[in-house]
Amino acid sequence: MSIWKIVEQCAKELMANGISPFTRVDIIKCVQQKNPSYRPDSINPIIQGLTDNLKGGAQGAVGKNILHSVGRGLFVLVGENTEIRKQVTSDSYAQNPRIEEQHIAHLTLAKKLLDRLSNAPIHKIENYDFFFIDEIEPDKGSDGQILTFMPQDRFDNPGSIPLHKYGNGPFCRFKIQNSLNYPGVYALMDTERLLYIGECIDLSSRYNMGYGNISPRNCFEGGQPTNCRINNLILLAKSEGSTISLWFLPTSNNKGIESQLRTSLRPSWNRI
């Protein structure tokens, strides 16, 4: 079997196994498993030559109609519907060859995340599909009432640092699942009404260590006023019986998309 056919076969096998987009490294490993005599420097021109939207490469009888590049080092089969997947696999992670291993690890995480969210409800915000993550539920006492906290009272403040504008509280505590360690844009909604748009590099950390658990220091100047403000807004909304849900768009273009949506939609909890 020619090397062109082997590359084509590997691409189809990777997609059949649920790996899509797949990386250049994925293809090379698969080819070498089938024929160890092929080296990366001979496989790379073949990949290039089979990709319809890349120039150059070694073209064989198969032609440039097998692969389609969706980012630097990322490929799908021609014709595959990958609109959602493209959102979470930007080539920004592969701009520096020194971080190739981290890039590959990130793609693996992206694939797992998409698999986990594949059956989640989707809410379209402008042209983006946001996946439902969870309802925000603050901790409650045995009486069913939301527990409130004043963490600023625990801050050792020898320098008499003043509270910032949102540091008075009170605050609540809440958390989401710990394994959503992925960048993207998140949305807070009350039923069907968009309340807030934000961006993060780690969704679980943003909520569990940020919004959902206000530390004493973050109540003071130089702390995290946004965390305090959003936590208090959630507390007030939940105290009034509102349902606050969290939705997430996994993407490495988190800052760009957040800025776009905040400007165009002007959610009520965002400060423009």
Token pair recorded at residue 234: 């959630």
In a domain, 74, yes or no: yes
Q: For residue 147, give its domain range.
A: 122-265
Examine the domain organization and report whether 174 and 49 are in the same domain: no
DSSP 67-123: EEEEETTEEEETT---HHHHHT--GGGGSSGGGHHHHHHHHHHHHHHHHHHTTS-EE
Q: Is residue 103 assigned to a domain?
A: no
Final residue before a domain boundary, out of 61, 84, 107: 84
Co-location of 168 and 231 in the same domain: yes
pLDDT at 108: 57
Q: Is the pLDDT of residue 81 over 70?
A: no
CA–CA separation, 221 and 88 (whole Å)? 35
Judge if 145 and 207 occupy the same domain: yes
* Structural domain ending residue among the three candidates 55, 84, 113: 84
* Residue 14 falls inside a structural domain: yes
Number of domains, the chain = 2
Same domain membership, residue 126 and residue 30: no
Q: Are residues 149 and 234 in the same domain?
A: yes
| Inside any domain, residue 201 | yes
Q: Are residues 69 and 126 in the same domain?
A: no
pLDDT value of residue 107: 52
CA atoms within 13 A on the CB side of 204: 7
Mark whether 152 and 73 lie in a shared domain.
no
CATH number, domain at 224? 3.40.1440
Tens digits of per-residue pLDDT, 102-117?
A: 444 455 556 667 677 7
Q: Are 136 and 208 in a shared domain?
A: yes
pLDDT in tens, 149-187: 988 878 777 778 888 999 898 999 999 988 888 888 999
pLDDT score for 139: 96
pLDDT of 130 above 70: yes
- Please give the angle made by the CA atoms of 116, 118 and 123, to the nearest 5 degrees: 115
pLDDT in tens, 186-224: 999 998 799 999 999 889 999 998 999 998 888 888 888
**172, amino acid identity:** C
In this structure, the answer to whether residues 152 and 33 fall within a common structural domain is: no
At 69 the pLDDT is 83
**112 within a domain of the structure (yes/no):** no
